[in-house]
């Protein structure tokens, strides 16, 4: 019985990690768009605006590389789906 509950907890944590990662993508995209609009709204791009845009883009790119790995069960299910 505890094996089943630990498996369910593992699946839940896997879905939670993926959900947080996808939510983070939407937040970073919103932040980049917001910074871009604020930077270009006055008609010229200052060095501070450029630095803020590059910093936000760097953190967004870093967030993309932090994608959670598939759990062992998800990995087996994906392998079974690919063989069919």
The pLDDT tens digits for 46-75 are: 999 999 999 999 999 999 999 988 766 555
pLDDT digits (tens, 9 = 90+) for 21-52: 999 999 999 999 999 999 889 888 899 999 99
Query: 45: which residues sit within 8 A by CB, 6+ positions away?
Result: 39
Q: For residues 73 and 82, what is the distance between their CA atoms, to the nearest angstrom?
A: 14
What letters, b where the CB count within 10 A reaches 16 and e where it falls short, cover 18-53?
A: eeeeeeeeeebeeeeeebbeebeeeeeeeeebeebb
**Structural domains of the chain, count:** 1
Query: What is the residue range of 64's domain?
Result: 2-83
> Model's pTM, two decimal places?
0.70
């Amino acid at each position: 019985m505890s094996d089943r509950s630990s498996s369910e907890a593992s699946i839940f944590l896997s879905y939670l990690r993926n959900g947080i990662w996808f939510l983070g993508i939407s937040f970073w995209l919103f932040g980049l768009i917001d910074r871009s609009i604020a930077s270009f709204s006055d008609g010229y791009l200052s060095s501070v605006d450029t630095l803020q845009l590059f910093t936000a883009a760097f953190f967004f790119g870093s967030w993309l590389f932090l994608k959670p790995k598939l759990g062992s069960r998800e990995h087996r299910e994906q392998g079974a789906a690919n063989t069919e």
